Amino acid sequence: MTTSLELAINALSEPSTSTADAFRTLLVVSRRIDAPNLSDWLNAELNGYPLESEVPDYRSAKALPIELHFDGPMRSSTKMHLSPGDLPAELGASLASYALRDPIAELEALAAGDRNPHMPLPAMWVELYRHFIEQDKVPRPTMMILNRAALTIPSTHLRGTIDRVKTAALDLALKLEDVAPEAGSPGGPKVDEVPQLAQTVNVYLTQIHGGGATVAVGAGAQAVTVNVGDLEAVLAHATSFLAASEVEDLRRALADDGDEPGENTRTFLQRVRTGGAALAVGVASSGAYEGLLALLQQAFPGFMS
Q: DSSP letter string over 231-300? A: HHHHHHHHTTTB-HHHHHHHHHHHHHTTSS--HHHHHHHHHHHTT-S-B-TT--HHHHHHHHHHHHHHHS
Quick one: pLDDT band at residue 221, thresholds 50, 70, 90? very low
pLDDT higher than 90, residue 305? no
Tell me if residue 61 falls in helix, strand or coil. coil
Domain count, the chain: 2
Q: What pLDDT band is residue 199 in, cutting at 50, 70 and 90?
A: confident
AA letter at 189: P
Contact 282/288 with Cβ under 8 angstroms?
Answer: no
Q: How far apart are CA 90 and CA 233, in angstroms?
A: 29
Is residue 30 a part of any domain in this protein? no
Q: Is residue 31 part of a domain?
A: no
Q: Is residue 45 part of a domain?
A: no
Residue 201 lies in a domain: yes
Longest Cα–Cα distance of the chain, Å, equals 77
Clarify whether residues 206 and 137 are in a common domain: no
Answer yes or no: do 300 and 235 share one domain. Answer: yes
Q: Which domain holds residue 89?
A: 58-97+117-152
Q: Is residue 103 part of a domain?
A: no
pLDDT tens per residue, range 44-90: 999 999 988 888 888 989 889 999 999 999 999 999 999 888 899 88
Residues 207 and 302 in one domain: yes
Report yes or no on 41 lying in a domain. Answer: no
Are 195 and 255 part of one and the same domain?
A: yes
65 and 122 inside one domain = yes
Domain identity same for 148 and 195? no
Q: Is 134 inside a domain boundary?
A: yes
What CA–CA distance (Å, rounded) separates 304 from 21? Answer: 33
Query: Are 136 and 211 members of one domain?
Result: no
| 229 vs 160, residue with greater confidence | 160
Q: Are 42 and 202 in contact (CB under 8 A)?
A: no
pLDDT score of 282: 64
Asked whether residue 198 is assigned to any structural domain, the reply reads yes
Regarding whether 305 and 242 lie in a shared domain, the answer is: yes
* Helix residue spans in 17-154 (DSSP H): 19-32, 36-47, 89-93, 104-111, 123-134
Last-in-domain residue among 105, 127, 152: 152
Same domain, 216 and 299: yes
Return the pLDDT at 224.
52
